[in-house]
Each structure stands twice: as C-alpha cells, then as structure tokens.
C-alpha cells in the first residue's frame, strides 16, 4: 500500500511511519522542515510541505492509496487550530488527487456523551481533563466535523492518555463509543491506525481505542 503520513515527526506519527515500513508499505512522510525525520529506508520518501497549504501537498498525495493523520497541537493553551486547519487542507488536496481513504487521530474526550465510559469516570475525571485541554479538544471536534462533512472514506480514532512505554501489540476498540481504560501506548495507537485502514466497517465512524 502507498501511504501518506501527516504529523510524521510527532511521537505517534514517527511510529506510524516505522511500523508501516516494517509491514512493507511504501510511505510518504510529510514534514514541515528538512531533517525533521531521520529515518532511512528504501520505501520511505520524506517530503517537505506546508500542511496548511493544499497546493503544496499534491506530490505527497499523487498515487497514494490512503492517508494517516497524526496531526496534533504541541501546546495545550494555543493550538492554532492545527488539526482543523490541517485536515481542511488535507481534504482539499485529497479531493484534487482522487484519494479517498483517511484515518485521523482524535481523542477520547471529544465524545461528549461518554458512551462506553464508566459512569464515575465520565462524571469526575473526564470533565477535569476536558477543562484542562479544552483548546485541544475543541480543535479536534472541529476537525471531526470537517471529516464528517466530506465525502471521503474517513475514520477518526479516539485514544485516551498516550504513553511512550513499549507497545504490547494489543488494544481494544469500540465503534462510536469510548473504551474503559486510562491509557494507551503510542506504539499500540500506531498499530491501531494502520490496522484501521483496511477495516471497512469503520468507514465514516469514530473508533474508541485503549490498551488491552
């Protein structure tokens, strides 16, 4: 499969690139600055582009089979609407290139109903987390709306708190619901993102995911 990865220099994006290459995929990793991704592989093509400028994304999407977005804000106070603006640009470029499939990282607290969460967790922990990271979740919610309005074959994956612990190779999911569990390793999230690409049942749905 020919994959295009946005957010490839972030903690999750880098692992997506590594795992995709290990699985035999050809990967185009989109970076903002040269040298942002130091991986070296015969099937890796690192392309410099501005994710907020659709015209610059054409070479990264030409001939691609699918897109994975691991875009995310680095600052919880000032997101700059990174995900909303970035996905808007990506969708425009995908439409021009004729690419249909996209899987994007969101977050567990974006689901306001708390479906799938223990009642106590939804009433105590979630409100606190949502208040602290309100700018990030507002940005992700708007990103999800853009995807829902598009005619792409989209899936959003909503993990809980992410850790940098070694991956287990296992995770649990729920369609249109969160999954009880307080954390997930970035490595396991990367695996979930790649696995979801070929799960047709997840198209035009949100997928809750957490550690096994």
| The two structure tokens encoding residue 51 | 């994710």
What is the per-residue pLDDT for 113?
Answer: 79
- d(CA 115, CA 201) in angstroms, rounded, equals 19
What is residue 209's DSSP assignment? E
Q: Does pTM top 0.85 for this prediction? A: yes
Pairing of the two strands 66-69 and 101-105: parallel
pLDDT (mean) for 121-126: 77
- d(CA 203, CA 85) in angstroms, rounded, equals 22
What is residue 164's DSSP assignment? -
* Residue 28, strand partner residues: 4, 45
Angle between helices 186-196 and 11-22 (to 10 degrees): 60
Number of Cβ atoms within 10 Å of the Cβ of 200: 9
Of 208, 96, 97, 101, which Cα lies nearest the Cα of 147? 101
Decide: 110 and 178 in contact? Cβ < 8 Å.
Answer: no
- Residue where the block lists tokens 């689901």: 111
Q: What is the overall mean pLDDT for the chain?
A: 93
pLDDT over 80 (residue 185)? yes
Kind plus residue range of the DSSP H or E element containing 45: strand 44-48
pLDDT (mean) for 48-74: 95
pLDDT (mean) for 12-35: 95
pLDDT (mean) for 24-38: 91
What are the CA-CA distances from residue 97 to residues 8, 63, 66 (Å)? 20, 8, 11
CA angle 23/90/28 to nearest 5° reads: 30
- d(CA 16, CA 97) in angstroms, rounded, equals 22
What is the per-residue pLDDT for 76?
Answer: 67
Q: 63-114, pLDDT tens digit by residue?
A: 999 999 999 987 666 667 999 999 999 999 999 999 999 999 999 999 877 7
- d(CA 148, CA 113) in angstroms, rounded, equals 18
């Amino acid at each position: 499969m020919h994959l295009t990865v946005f957010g490839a220099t972030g903690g999750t994006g880098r692992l997506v690139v590594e795992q995709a290459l290990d699985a035999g995929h050809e990967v185009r990793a989109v970076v903002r600055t040269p040298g942002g991704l130091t991986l070296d592989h015969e099937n890796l093509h690192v392309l410099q582009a501005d994710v907020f400028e659709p015209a610059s994304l054409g070479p990264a999407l030409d001939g691609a089979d699918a897109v994975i977005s691991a875009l995310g804000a680095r600052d919880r106070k000032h997101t700059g609407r990174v995900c909303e603006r970035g996905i808007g640009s990506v969708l425009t470029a995908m439409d021009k290139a004729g690419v249909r499939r996209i899987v994007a990282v969101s977050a567990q607290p974006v689901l306001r109903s708390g479906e799938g969460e223990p009642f106590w967790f939804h009433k105590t922990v979630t409100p606190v987390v949502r208040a602290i990271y309100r700018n990030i979740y507002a940005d992700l919610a708007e990103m999800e709306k853009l995807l829902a309005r598009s005619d792409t074959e989209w899936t959003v994956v909503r993990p809980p708190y992410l850790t940098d612990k070694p991956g287990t190779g296992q995770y649990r999911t729920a369609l249109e619901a969160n999954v009880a569990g307080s954390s997930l390793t970035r490595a396991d999230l990367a695996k979930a993102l790649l696995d979801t690409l070929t799960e047709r049942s997840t198209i035009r749905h949100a997928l809750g995911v957490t550690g096994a």
